[in-house]
Chains A and B, each alone.
Chain A
Amino acid sequence: GAVVSQHPSWVICKSGTSVKIECRSLDFQATTMFWYRQFPKQSLMLMATSNEGSKATYEQGVEKDKFLINHASLTLSTLTVTSAHPEDSSFYICSARVRQPVAGGLYNEQFFGPGTRLTVL
């Protein structure tokens, strides 16, 4: 199946600093990537939809100036948490939607990355 990677897998930073998380589709091209946030014992919450070469579409309540998303290529999207604060500590997960059918797969299936654990001190 299609593989999505995230880097880093975990990060600890000081309050006020910015953190960049990368999401890569390793063996397929993804015109669309999605960013989710998940707090402990809660479900995934969609933050934004990232389309290659265009601005991201943010969900209601998500600050676009705080969570900067760049989708510069068909295999890479980045999420930058700017001026991070302890309340931004969470598990950030990306997914990539396959652009074309993969062997045994579905045309519009989403493949999820392993997630990035962000802890802001």
Chain B
Amino acid sequence: LAKTTQPISMDSYEGQEVNITCSHNNIATNDYITWYQQFPSQGPRFIIQGYKTKVTNEVASLFIPADRKSSTLSLPRVSLSDTAVYYCLVGPKAAGNKLTFGGGTRVLVKP
């Protein structure tokens, strides 16, 4: 499983865009990039998944450059309720795959 590196923490303010970059230099050809969000004392929640270029859903956007050695999760116009830990995971989208969580990025949104 490819190892990921994320910033430990980030501070932001309400209404701003938050971009979290994840490095995964040894990503394999069949690996996908998945981001999860976790609030205190809750299980992680799937945010977005992508393989290359750009993926957007109602919650976030995921930007993946051509070499796929990094990815950036973009949260538009954050609110206080977006304060959470965000995990970047890299692995194959295949049966039997287990998820390996790295340290995650603790995002604090201030008023």
Note whether A and B form a binding pair: yes
Q: Give chain A's interface residues, CB within 8 Å of chain B.
A: 4, 6, 32, 34, 36, 43-46, 49, 91, 93-95, 106-115, 117
A-B contact count (CB 8 A): 49
Nearest-CB distance from B32 to chain A (Å)?
Answer: 9
A110-B45 Cα distance, complex, nearest whole Å: 9
Residues of A within 8 A of B95 (CB): 108
**What residue in chain B is nearest A59 (Cβ atoms)?**
B98
Instruction: Check B93–A106 contact: CB distance below 8 A.
Output: yes
> Does B13 sit at the interface, judged by CB under 8 A?
no
Instruction: Check A43–B101 contact: CB distance below 8 A.
Output: yes
The contact size tier of chain B is 20 to 34
Instruction: Check A115–B94 contact: CB distance below 8 A.
Output: no
Q: Give chain B's interface residues, CB within 8 Å of chain A.
A: 41-46, 49, 87, 93-104
**What residue in chain A is nearest B97 (Cβ atoms)?**
A108
A95-B101 Cα distance, complex, nearest whole Å: 13
Residues of B within 8 A of A112 (CB): 43-45
**What residue in chain A is nearest B102 (Cβ atoms)?**
A43
A108-B46 Cα distance, complex, nearest whole Å: 12
Nearest-CB distance from A34 to chain B (Å)?
Answer: 6
